[in-house]
Structure 1
């Protein structure tokens, strides 16, 4: 009977899980209809996750779907970077070779980091901030293209073993996969996910996504255990056996299988489940047990050739041992490749745990020696990591250190920065265990690229512990572990306090600046200043150029001026002297932007275009994307919005080709600004929403939220504007204020508070922002703020509540106008507009002034401020009288623009003015003669009441002054509000002053 049980320890009958299987098949149907699906299947070890997935995979294949399975690999304490994705893509390549090649076309060198069979990996840029994100985006696009016309089921098993890079890619995939006929099913052990398990945050994140469904498998009920035993035994089990196994297994499907096998062979049921798992191994022949122990220590799957090299058995004996282990359902042939694995990881863990300490290290040494003797025994993408793990667990520090360092280089090339950091930390752990003479043979050229070697020859200079710290700091930063990077940098700076090495110290201080800024712990200037002090007076070097470039870049976005420009000049000069092209291009781009800010527009733009052309031609995508962002911003800053749009569209196309989603977010944020200026508000909104949805850097997302807030204000949606402005503030943070964000935030807040009738608070906003208006090159943000402030004061003219503080507010605006530059036509037009609004606020409104403003806007493609200027000119013409045709034409132009833009507040103001003047907004000729009634249909008594309302009187005070009852006064006020189409007394008073209704009273 034992033989029968051994060959059928898995029930041929699928037991239970009807609801879960239905959920999976429904997801398959939805995916086939074109809606991507993502499911997480969790449950304790042995509960039946694999069996459920196998049942689903069989049904999927029967329906014509292509299935690719990849599993996370546990090798000692380390996982292989991207292991499940690499395995699954390899399976897809075997099944759909032509289709996968077509889907990967043009990006083979990048995707080779996941699937080496596609070719050599592309050039690695050590400082590339978005390299991992680019790889992730290309992977998602590959899957979308591959599943455009066929259904694919992607199964990723054992997420509890997933390395950090796999977890990050999984998160990215689930968040961004929106097209294709694909089902992604991921499994994990729920009982392994303790409070500090690294998978827990990912599960929490995915739970918040509506597109991800989570299935938790419960243990079997007693009835289901009975059905499972019936299937295994092919006969009805006796009640005593069912009861005993149900009690001992507690409904765990795998334990049921192991217990019935133990019971069937006549063994007594032990109290320890670990012993239960070992029973069948111990019944194997001694040679088979030995092979099982070797396989257990080799990893999740061991290749046959590697196993043969480690076992050192005659081939016939090895095959007999494997046959016995496979026959007993302990080992299985790997589903892909020429290797073996345990049928269940619980058994492998039990066998591995049963090894003696010396036995474990000896087996790891033999694995390492075999792999060193013949590297072809394992796939190239796994070789370095597995060799490092084997030597480490063999407790041979001399062999382990270089192996771990080589593995760190390989993981860096794959953008697996979290795994690179783990390996570097392991190298630092081994560092002091290795003799000096061995460490002296290691070279920075082989293992370190994070920072320049400060004048030392990397081919001959020995590798230092500080080199490892620098590599680890950069790996931590690029892998998103900025807190860890800070700690590593702090450790390095403590070491450097005892050494006279200013260049290395300066490099670490500069890194610290970038980290503090990224963590919103400060602006990072103190750290940059320290770095500059350290390199001051030293001969030119790559580190010196790097520090100056970072300082110039810092100043470009915070305090553009002569000091920042000088730093950029010196950075370019030093980079050229030492032959560092990337730093030279970076500093040159910064210099171009600073030249534009300083007023040398054409020279600055030409320099930036040169950098853009050079970086694109050289394939330096990180700097090319920065060039697109900065150049488009500078074009917008000098009023060349249409050029900015064209440049942004080209940058977005290039970012899309290279999978640079975050860079695309920065460019789209700029594109939204240019669209808004050009009056293409719907396009601006669409781009801003894309950035909020798809970008993952806070600054462009903040800019997008701010743009949506500004559009909401102009369209009269105060609630939406408040919501988006709060989000923008949150995303920008408070520790590193940048003028390019603080001033537009202030402008939006000012307009919002004024729209809510809080004039004093609007004035306070301008007063708080005054300090930010002094920076060179920030006129593009100052002029809109001043225009908003001047317009608020003019609109509030005559409101008693706004009278106090008016003079001080006007003085502040006037003083700011005198010190703000207007170096291009757009800002010259704004300057005239602000002056006209100030004149209106001081009752010095005149036709000539507004005519000049309208003429200044005429050649510019800025429909909203131009419409407001036409509105004011029409109002001035009507006030003077006799030029109704001109006023009507201006009102119609402005009204058409307001309707097209969806600018409801402006449209309503125009309609009110046209109604008061009895002018048609659709008829090209005046609707009738000069009206006798210029009071908006108000009766003489209502005009009297309106005059008192505008003076701030209550209903009782109005009644006393006009000798009427309070109730009658209330009725008059209600009629006035209805005729003016306003909701409150303050708004009625403001409109009365704006439309000069009181002049006829």
Structure 2
């Protein structure tokens, strides 16, 4: 009843609207964008501007143009005083249209998705077959996002869809999460989403989400104030020049401010006088005082009953029905309708597109009407609206926003409403749920009679806070629960300490405090109650695994009585078991435990895995660390999907980082970058420094492999700063990434990489990372003919490699092949070819290509051109497929040195560095390789005089006078050129 309806119904022309002035260039851009969407692609339009600048008017214009193109056009907006209503703007836009299309949608949508959507959109509340929705704590939250995307695709099938969301700076967290999802996973088909917002008030998460839109899928339009000339046109000719100038100066060209000031002047008010009085909840602090005064003057000229209805309607909602406003104002329906005529005549409210409803002409008008009412009256009015809604059997979430503003301490009925509302939205909107639970606890007297209920609400609150990345709040709430729980409540204490408290403490970088609390709780459990301590043992084992205490982790897992604990804990024990063995260097035992975990988990459901996802994440990395990339990838995908479905965003950065590493090594660099960008976004929002260090370190590695070494070094520096000096896995991986980035920039000082290897080797947690660093250093040192140092890295690789792990053994052989090239290139080539065959069979395309490159370089060093060229060509082709630009360029340079002309990476170009033509660039490369003019002429089958002419041109363009200077000047630019 406070709800607002979608805008598919074509509104009648509004005679109160002033002419649209100064917006033709913007309308042209928006019209072009809509027409471009006819290509059946997704597009996001942002309308950005300050309050009152005209964004909403442009939204209306976009809607009209979309309808002219035959597109389904749905519009909604967020509201200032309804930010605790989940998905309010999206429901506002879609609900009525869904009600009219319910038959089609229930036929086209999968039944579980239709049922899930009906829990959010009242218009889809119909009888559907009872197809079960998949279980999982909070699972509806992310399944709903996918269901909405499917819904938009269905709505767009016939003629395209334009979804317009206004005032999204007031959007609730659930709506923001949905928009974030739709940006990262855009609907297929002709779908245009337009969002209008104030840049200074938009949330950080939404701002970050909107920056992820690819350039070809996004249009950002900044709506600026009118110029003085446009202001004069806006105000019209029936006003003196001096008055128009004064209004322009007072308004700054803002159309709404202009309108408010001119209305007040025409009403004989004094809009330029200062405001007096205390305006509660004042969100207009950035609005000029004169405009605020003008809005107050406008409302002050209403009759007493009209002002009462204006105040009451502002409490009811952004859009309202006359009967609701009458109930709020304690007037009869007939009185309310009469008074509404006055409000419409004064253009304070307007007839809404949906028959029988009204809305304020602008959110700022509603704000003024709301805040200018006295605080006590507003509180009582929210109570009257809540009572009215209860008579209509409105759902708890609709009641909650009024209850929370009207209920008094000790109102148990209000506690029940807020609790029910929180539980109903927690799977989809945990931030809103945590707010309502907080308010319920505020109202609930803290007396012995309410202890059980308070503890239960606190547990639910801590869970909602943790899921929504409110880690500090979740920790404090969990501590409150532990203080309140009886000492003998062993199952509940173990669950809260092991499953909530210690998890968020780690995410806050306070692992020492987390472990201390876990040990304290464990010591308090009697021997005959230890079967309740499974969560404590398991969480302590996780903490020991993080810090490399592998023997302790194994001991703790052995203490869990797996036959007496819930199956979820038994599954987690099996999942975590392999990692301590692998990290301690016992690969054979690790592989045995991996096989056991596969058997134990063969029948486990998503519900079984969800409570202990961090343990199952370690299982994913156990596959990765043993070289089982093909096994690891589907496991990563499954656990990440469960994390999204259950709202456990905190675990996504490590999951996505590991998944990105797997897909990159398996050859899909584009997918790897997509995954790692999501990991970084989630880590930044979540606020966990270790998660951020891990995600950034992984991105640095990808940038190095793809050839962007400058950016790789910058990202690695940020990663190591986030990780700090904590000797744990994320920070160590970040340091490995930094060492590799530094080496690829040409700094082959071995002390830094050696120190990082020593740290990582001390716990042997990550053999692949150790071997990647060893292989990088040996490869680069071999390229610099520093064979002795390369041999040192080969010896280190041999020392750290577990012979029970075939892929790791093969990588160590590749490191040895790099070093061996200087003394026995034929043996090096054969060893590299053997490595390539093993890696190719395992599907590790990137690593196999590195082995092929080494084989080609070794054969070239052995002067065996016939064997070298096929290996170099195969390596170059594989690197191109993997998007590894630098390594491809190296393979091509080696091919050219063997006298074969090959295309420059990135395709033909008009000119090279310093304006060199393709032929000049080709000859300059041969000069760099030490060829004489005669040798160049013979290689290229051209005359010696032609070569001399080209060399002269090269010298002139480079500004050098000798062949020796060519490398100094051209070398750095040539590297960048080859990288594309």
Q: Give TM-score scaled by structure 2 length.
A: 0.71
Q: 1:430 aligned to 2:430?
A: no
Counterpart in 2 of 1:408?
422
- Which of 159, 162, 166 does residue 153 from structure 1 map onto? 162
- Which of 404, 418, 432 does residue 389 from structure 1 map onto? 404
- Which of 525, 537, 553 does residue 538 from structure 1 map onto? 525
Q: 1:162 aligned to 2:139?
A: no
Paired residues of 2:314 and 2:370 also in contact (CA < 8 A):
yes
Distance 1:487 1:655, change over 3 A: closer
Which is further off, 355-364 or 140-149?
140-149
The separation in 1 between residues aligned to 2:771 and 2:271, in whole angstroms, is 84
- Which of 66, 69, 84 does residue 72 from structure 2 map onto? 66
Paired residues of 1:83 and 1:166 also in contact (CA < 8 A):
yes
Counterpart in 1 of 2:387?
369
Counterpart in 2 of 1:766?
754
Which is further off, 353-362 or 852-861?
852-861
Alignment of 1:48-63 (within 5 A): 48-63=54-69
The separation in 2 between residues aligned to 1:69 and 1:665, in whole angstroms, is 35
**Could you tell me how far 1:154 is from its partner in structure 2?**
2.2
Q: 1:895 aligned to 2:872?
A: yes
Which is further off, 634-643 or 699-708?
699-708
Distance 1:787 1:107, change over 3 A: same
The separation in 2 between residues aligned to 1:262 and 1:58, in whole angstroms, is 31
Paired residues of 1:507 and 1:543 also in contact (CA < 8 A):
no
Matched residue SS, 2:426: helix
Distance 1:291 1:71, change over 3 A: same
- Which of 401, 415, 420 does residue 433 from structure 2 map onto? 420
The separation in 2 between residues aligned to 1:324 and 1:37, in whole angstroms, is 40
Counterpart in 1 of 2:575?
589
Deviation string 1:865-895 (CA, Å, 9 cap, x unpaired) is 778778989999999x9xx9xx777646633
Paired residues of 1:469 and 1:489 also in contact (CA < 8 A):
yes
The separation in 2 between residues aligned to 1:257 and 1:381, in whole angstroms, is 39
Counterpart in 2 of 1:966?
none
**Could you tell me how far 1:39 is from its partner in structure 2?**
1.8
The separation in 1 between residues aligned to 2:858 and 2:20, in whole angstroms, is 85
The separation in 2 between residues aligned to 1:109 and 1:906, in whole angstroms, is 56
Paired residues of 1:39 and 1:213 also in contact (CA < 8 A):
yes
| Consecutive unaligned residues in structure 2, runs of 5 or more | 1-12, 276-290, 684-689, 880-886, 901-928, 933-959, 976-980
The separation in 2 between residues aligned to 1:865 and 1:24, in whole angstroms, is 47
Distance 1:49 1:592, change over 3 A: same
- Which of 29, 35, 39 does residue 46 from structure 2 map onto? 39
Deviation string 1:335-356 (CA, Å, 9 cap, x unpaired) is 3475443334444444444444
Counterpart in 2 of 1:604?
593
The separation in 2 between residues aligned to 1:185 and 1:19, in whole angstroms, is 17
- Which of 87, 90, 104 does residue 92 from structure 2 map onto? 87
How big is the alpha-carbon RMSD for the aligned residues of Structure 1 and Structure 2? 5.5
The separation in 1 between residues aligned to 2:187 and 2:873, in whole angstroms, is 38
Counterpart in 2 of 1:462?
452
Q: 1:749 aligned to 2:749?
A: no
Counterpart in 2 of 1:359?
377
Paired residues of 2:571 and 2:601 also in contact (CA < 8 A):
no
Deviation string 1:174-224 (CA, Å, 9 cap, x unpaired) is 56648643443334468xx5xxx5647855885797635243342685874
Structure of greater Rg: 1
Paired residues of 1:754 and 1:762 also in contact (CA < 8 A):
no
Counterpart in 2 of 1:448?
none
The separation in 2 between residues aligned to 1:646 and 1:462, in whole angstroms, is 43
Q: 1:25 aligned to 2:9?
A: no
Distance 1:638 1:225, change over 3 A: same
Q: 1:10 aligned to 2:16?
A: yes
Matched residue SS, 2:353: coil
Counterpart in 2 of 1:299?
317
Deviation string 1:310-366 (CA, Å, 9 cap, x unpaired) is 556554444444445445444444434754433344444444444445433332332
**Could you tell me how far 1:69 is from its partner in structure 2?**
1.6
Counterpart in 2 of 1:692?
676
Paired residues of 2:771 and 2:797 also in contact (CA < 8 A):
no
Counterpart in 2 of 1:553?
542
**Could you tell me how far 1:87 is from its partner in structure 2?**
1.4
The separation in 1 between residues aligned to 2:296 and 2:400, in whole angstroms, is 29
Paired residues of 2:169 and 2:203 also in contact (CA < 8 A):
yes
Matched residue SS, 2:802: coil
Distance 1:506 1:703, change over 3 A: closer
Paired residues of 1:304 and 1:339 also in contact (CA < 8 A):
yes
Distance 1:24 1:795, change over 3 A: closer
Matched residue SS, 2:533: helix
Counterpart in 2 of 1:475?
464
Paired residues of 1:225 and 1:253 also in contact (CA < 8 A):
no
Alignment of 1:553-572 (within 5 A): 553-556=542-545, 558-559=547-548, 561-571=550-560
Distance 1:490 1:214, change over 3 A: farther
Distance 1:908 1:721, change over 3 A: farther
Matched residue SS, 2:403: helix
The separation in 2 between residues aligned to 1:838 and 1:399, in whole angstroms, is 77
Paired residues of 2:643 and 2:649 also in contact (CA < 8 A):
yes
Alignment of 1:607-686 (within 5 A): 607-610=596-599, 613-616=602-605, 622=610, 633-644=621-632, 669-670=657-658, 672-674=660-662, 677=665, 681=667, 683=668, 685-686=669-670
Paired residues of 1:688 and 1:705 also in contact (CA < 8 A):
no
Deviation string 1:594-640 (CA, Å, 9 cap, x unpaired) is 56664235543344435654444x56685798798655544443344
The separation in 2 between residues aligned to 1:867 and 1:349, in whole angstroms, is 64
**Could you tell me how far 1:531 is from its partner in structure 2?**
0.9
**Could you tell me how far 1:84 is from its partner in structure 2?**
0.4
Distance 1:642 1:293, change over 3 A: closer
The separation in 2 between residues aligned to 1:587 and 1:623, in whole angstroms, is 12
Deviation string 1:950-969 (CA, Å, 9 cap, x unpaired) is xxxxxxxxxxxxxxxxxxxx
Matched residue SS, 1:185: strand
The separation in 2 between residues aligned to 1:692 and 1:58, in whole angstroms, is 40
| Consecutive unaligned residues in structure 1, runs of 5 or more | 1-6, 231-235, 443-460, 917-935, 940-970, 988-1001
Counterpart in 2 of 1:527?
514
Paired residues of 2:271 and 2:294 also in contact (CA < 8 A):
yes
Deviation string 1:466-499 (CA, Å, 9 cap, x unpaired) is 5555444433332233344455556667x57998
Paired residues of 2:322 and 2:333 also in contact (CA < 8 A):
no
The separation in 1 between residues aligned to 2:608 and 2:92, in whole angstroms, is 30
The separation in 2 between residues aligned to 1:675 and 1:95, in whole angstroms, is 44
Matched residue SS, 1:64: coil
Distance 1:794 1:292, change over 3 A: closer
Paired residues of 2:478 and 2:501 also in contact (CA < 8 A):
yes
